[in-house]
Structure 1
Amino acid sequence: MDPLTPFVAIAGGLLIGSAAGLFLLLTGRIAGVSGMTAIATRIGSGGTPRSQAAAFLIGLPLGTALVALFVRQPEVAVTSSVPLLIIAGLLVGFGTRLGNGCTSGHGVCGIARLSPRSLAATAIFMASAAATVFLARHVIGG
């Protein structure tokens, strides 16, 4: 497969930013995936209608499929064990609930709005991710 070009990366970033901005302008709501998931599954509540949250979530894999079909299909190699992936997923889910948002809500939308809470949350989860990778690869030996 050809390496990812800067043009494709910039285009992807522009699409994500445009989609988040349009969602905010058209609905007045933040395009946070964890919040949309909570609303769609009735774990949480918010100002977004459940059907709109579900449509948002359905659009994520559909958009991915369109990119894979028309642009390129990524090579995915899972190198971790299934139990480790399950634990990691649960920890990420816990962290998004604890931090009232995820990378899309805080990292994309919140930083763009210069939200102090989102700036702090993004700094914390990025530092936590860097520390986790360092520990897993250099201390524990992964």
Structure 2
Amino acid sequence: MDTAFTPFASTLGGALIGAAAVLLMLTLGRILGATGILSGVLAPDSRDDFAWRAAMIAGMITGPLIYLAVTGGFPTVTVPVSTPMLLVGGFIVGLGVIFGAGCTSGHGVCGMARLSRRSIAATLSFMAATALTVFVIRHVIGG
């Protein structure tokens, strides 16, 4: 399995995520964590709370549509696993979000920037688990 090396796109994407996190903190004093934003849309604390969260979700949905309009197509994405495996993986990630009190974007981007000990521990944990998973899949199982 080859991994595409995309330094320009990755750097640009990271910069945009960082800018979005900073702007959300500056304008609303809120932390950019994707699962927290989604859960707040499903069970909002107030009408104002729902509005900014819904706008963020709408942006996440319309971003790829803007890409489509500008380029005329979506990037090709190949996922080398079956749909049931994707569902199992999504379920495991969901459990991690619950037990980890947040997602990778909340802990890894915003929590680390605030020097949160909990976020630093969470980020180290999921990065170690990711490295172990990739090693096992590529070198032990042979995927």
TM-score of the two chains, using structure 2 as the length reference? 0.84
Q: Determine the structure 2 residue equivalent to 1:128.
A: 129
Q: Give runs of aligned pairs for residues 36-47 of structure 1, distance below 5 A.
A: 36-42=37-43
Q: How many correspondences in the alignment?
A: 138
Change over 3 Å in CA distance of 1:140–1:33 after alignment to 2: same
Change over 3 Å in CA distance of 1:70–1:28 after alignment to 2: same
Distance 2:130 2:6 in 1: 25
Deviates more, 1:127-136 or 1:72-81: 72-81
Distance 2:115 2:11 in 1: 21
Conserved 8 A contact 1:38-1:45: no
Instruction: Look up the equivalent residue of 1:64 and give its one-letter code.
Output: P
Conserved 8 A contact 2:64-2:74: no
Aligned: 1:17 with 2:9: no
Distance 1:112 1:62 in 2: 27
SS at match of 2:22: helix
Give the CA RMSD over aligned residues. Answer: 2.3
Q: Determine the structure 1 residue equivalent to 2:70.
A: 70
C-alpha distance after superposition, 1:63-95 (max 9, x if no partner): 122234436742111210111110000000110
Change over 3 Å in CA distance of 1:82–1:5 after alignment to 2: closer
Q: Determine the structure 2 residue equivalent to 1:110.
A: 111
TM-score of the two chains, using structure 1 as the length reference? 0.84
Q: Determine the structure 2 residue equivalent to 1:94.
A: 95
Question: 5+ unaligned residues in a row in structure 1: which ranges?
Answer: none
Deviates more, 1:18-27 or 1:129-138: 129-138
Question: 5+ unaligned residues in a row in structure 2: which ranges?
Answer: none
